[in-house]
Amino acid sequence: MQKLEQIYEGKAKKVFKTDDPSLCIVDYKDDATAFNGLKKGPIAGKGVINNKMSNRLMKMLETKGVPTHFVEELSDRETLVKKVSIVPLEVIVRNIAAGSFSKRYGVDEGVKFDEPVVEFSYKNDDLGDPLLNTSHALALKLATKEEIDTIKTYALKINAILKAFWAECGVTLVDFKLEFGKTPDGKIILADEISPDTCRFWDSTTGEKLDKDRFRRDMGGVEEAYEEIMKRFAEHE
Ligand code: ADP
Ligand code: UDP
């Protein structure tokens, strides 16, 4: 597979064309950002961890019936994926109150929900990724009703699979963000990444944060937390 010109450079990854128009290569960087790019900094080794963890989680999801963009890991930081047209929705699933949910609704972090919460943000950096509901998404023509239903069904299925897997690793899956894309034949598949950048992971016993919140909140031990969560993952995969 030939790596051709760069199509896009995002905050955490670069995307390259390949000689097959239906495939692209994502290249994971160590760069981290938070608060819509206001806070920036490197997390040494993050790109390698996110690449490997995301690929293995997507492989696991595929075996359980969730279609994903994953094709082949090419190197420590590079992966071949199906090129999709990204649905401009950040799909967030929450099992426990944290982050923006706690802030917006005045709920202490750590309060458990009876049922998972699925919410959408409009993936639009200029607007600061505003929260929206299904009617808003339909009005803005971000996706069709059928596509949104499919996305919600997959998001809940992914949550059930990942929550159970992480519990075996001694990790509580608090919340996470997914992105879905559309293939040329109109199929909705899981894209982007699943990693400590996009999930909140708390040690099930101590509550210690093992994710990007350590960077967002200047808690220190950021690299160590990424290494620890990868170690737990590798031991239980
Ligand atoms: P951001 O754009 O938010 O800064 P990244 O640095 O992670 O994020 O950049 C990766 C970009 O590639 C994102 O915009 C993401 O939506 C997009 N992307 C992820 N998977 C695919 C895919 N399979 N096909 C096309 N684009 C993808
Ligand atoms: N998230 C993400 N990218 C974003 C916003 C959120 O990956 O642009 C993830 C985040 O890591 C967390 C979940 O989505 O696991 C919920 O994030 P929240 O809405 O609480 O936002 P935050 O507190 O990060 O601003």
Q: Report which ligand 2 atom has the smallest distance to the Cα of 176.
A: 15
Q: Is the CB of 232 within 6 Å of ligand 2?
A: no
pLDDT score for 147 = 98
pLDDT score for 148 = 98
Strands 13-18, 3-9: pairing kind: antiparallel
Query: What's the CA gap between 43 and 45, in Å, rounded?
Result: 6
Strands 171-182, 188-191: pairing kind: antiparallel
pLDDT score for 174 = 99
pLDDT score for 194 = 99
pLDDT score for 1 = 82
Which residues, other chains included, contact 23 with Cβ-Cβ below 8 Å and sequence gap of 6+? 1, 71, 80, 81, 82, 83
Ligand 2 centroid, distance to 71 Cα (angstroms) = 26
Query: What's the CA gap between 35 and 101, in Å, rounded?
Result: 15
Buried b / exposed e across 18-43, counting CB within 10 Å, b at 16+?
A: beeeebbbbbbbbbbbbeeeeeeeeb
Residue located via tokens 């031991």: 235
Structure tokens at 16: 């390259």
> Mind listing the pLDDT tens digit of every residue in the chain (237 residues)?
899 999 999 999 999 999 999 999 999 999 999 998 999 999 999 999 999 999 999 999 999 999 999 999 999 999 999 999 999 999 999 999 999 999 999 999 999 999 999 999 999 999 999 999 999 999 999 999 999 999 999 999 999 999 999 999 999 999 999 999 999 999 999 999 999 999 999 999 999 999 999 999 999 999 999 999 999 999 998
Predicted TM-score (pTM) of the model is 0.98
DSSP state of 76: S
Q: Whose CA is nearest to atom 20 of ligand 1?
A: 192
Which residues, other chains included, contact 43 with Cβ-Cβ below 8 Å and sequence gap of 6+? 30, 32, 215, 222, 223, 226
pLDDT score for 237 = 85
Strand partners, 18: 3
Q: Which ligand is nearest to the CA of 50?
A: 1
Structure tokens at 158: 């992914």
Q: Is the CB of 178 within 6 Å of ligand 1?
A: no
Of the candidates 39, 38, 40, the residue with the CA atom closest to the CA atom of residue 30: 40
